[in-house]
Copies of this chain bind each other. A is one copy, B any other.
Amino acid sequence: MNRERAGISPSRQQTEQAFLDAAERLLLREGYATITTRKLATEAHANHGLVHYYFGSMEELLLRVLERFTDRILTRQRAMYADPAVPFIEKWRKAMDYIDADLASGYPKIWYELMAMAWNNPDFRERLMRVHEQWDAVLTDAVTIAMREYGVDRKRFPPEAVAVLVRTFNEGMLMERLIGYDRGHRALLKMIDDLLRRWQKESKR
């Protein structure tokens, strides 16, 4: 008897989502390696037989987790960077504010667990490459506009390259924080903020 006695039986949709939610919590707490159908079912307050009935296998379920999770992230990133009217420095600061909130919510841990699965799974790898492509497009656009806005020399600092720098240093920084290491992170973020502020000010003259 896993469900509340007085409650109405949840729909299949709801139970599926409960499984996906539970899988994210397990990725956050223990990592992908130790997830089993039984543990997942317990976490989701559902029956472990349903995992196979709904998803076929754990592998399929985790692929669904990946898709749902990356959809969510991409939507947010697009919303954050898309508006060309917003000065880049504001987008940047908002993104940096997200870092702390995200670490508290566990987003990065889930993201990197999915990445780690992709290192050893072609289906996951394929999906994550597409996500990176889209994330790349959004960020490159924003950086291109920002550099025009700030009048930075596009020969010396190609927007494409700068966008990659931003993307990769973020990925590296978050990964370091997953092992509890953040030496110099604050100094780096301050350096970048100072730089953006200076450009922002100079471009207004």
Copies of the polypeptide in the assembly = 2
Q: Is the CB of B180 within 8 A of A129?
A: yes
Task: Identify which of B109, B161, B162, B188 contacts A164 (C-beta below 8 A).
Answer: B188
Task: Identify which of B115, B119, B161, B188 contacts A190 (C-beta below 8 A).
Answer: B161
Scoring A residues 60 to 99 as 1 if CB is less than 8 Å from chain B, else 0, what string do you get?
0000000000000000000000000000000000000000
Scoring A residues 119 to 138 as 1 if CB is less than 8 Å from chain B, else 0, what string do you get?
11000010011001100100
A-B interface, 5 closest residue pairs, ranked by CB to CB distance from nearest: A168-B172, A171-B172, A164-B184, A33-B33, A172-B172
Q: Is the CB of B32 within 8 A of A180?
A: no
Binding site for B on A (CB under 8 A): 30-34, 109, 112-113, 115-116, 118-120, 125, 128-129, 132-133, 136, 140, 156-158, 160-165, 167-173, 175-176, 178-181, 183-185, 187-188, 190-191, 194-195
Of A113, A128, A176, A185, most B-chain CB atoms within 10 Å: A176
